[in-house]
Structure formats: structure tokens, C-alpha cells
Amino acid sequence: GENVEQHPSTLSVQEGDSAVIKCTYSDSASNYFPWYKQELGKGPQLIIDIRSNVGEKKDQRIAVTLNKTAKHFSLHITETQPEDSAVYFCAASAYSGAGSYQLTFGKGTKLSVIP
């Protein structure tokens, strides 16, 4: 099955600096890579995603890059703000048979933005 590794597990940055979180995946058939943000006491919420036919995607201060050859993808947050503090999860999705697409999640990165 798919295995997703995520680094770092914790990350502290000064407000206004950039933050980068990296993930690698093992299954070359994976074709969809979402990033979720989880605030304290809440469920994960999708913030950005990318498909395997695209190398980079941006949405305001966040961007995701994908290197299919190396099987890794990264989340970039620029001009970080205190409200960016949360746990971020990467995930990879591939068809697993019987009409099912499953997400395999990384173990998460706790991002702290210091004012």
C-alpha cells in the first residue's frame, strides 16, 4: 500500500517568514495530493490540492509543488501570520479497487508562527 512520509514534525517561524513542509510518497500510481489544515479542536480542512499532471499550484500565500519523478511534494506558505498556526497534513490518493479512492495521510506538521 501507499506510504506517506512528512517532515518536519514541528516547525516554528517568525511572523512574515516562509514555511515549507515536505512529503514523499511510495506508490507511483498516486495521482492526487491534497493538503489539510487542522486547527485545535477541529476537523481537518482542505487548503490546497494538486493533481499529478500539474507541477505547481498557487492560491494567494500558499503553493504546492509536485515532483513525480522523485515522488515528493511540498507545501509553501509565504508571509506567515499567527492564524497560520495549526497542524498540517499531506496526503496521497490512488485508486484502490472496487470503486474506491483512499487517502493515505502523513503524520502531520505542527506549525507555530511567532508574532
Partner 1 sequence: NAGVTQTPKFRVLKTGQSMTLLCAQDMNHEYMYWYRQDPGMGLRLIHYSVGEGTTAKGEVPDGYNVSRLKKQNFLLGLESAAPSQTSVYFCASRFGGVAKNIQYFGAGTRLSVL
Minimum CB–partner distance for residue 2 and partner 1 (Å): 10
C-alpha cell at 23: 512529503
Report the interface residues with partner 1, using CB under 8 A. Answer: 1, 6, 9, 32, 34, 36, 41-46, 49, 89, 93, 95, 98-103, 105-108
Between residues 81 and 102, which has the closer beta carbon with respect to partner 1? Answer: 102
Between residues 77 and 91, which has the closer beta carbon with respect to partner 1? Answer: 91
Cβ-contact 106, 92 below 8 angstroms: no
Using left for φ > 0, alpha for ψ between -120 and 50, and beta otherwise, residue 85 falls in beta
C-alpha cell at 60: 494567494
Between residues 52 and 78, which has the closer beta carbon with respect to partner 1? Answer: 52
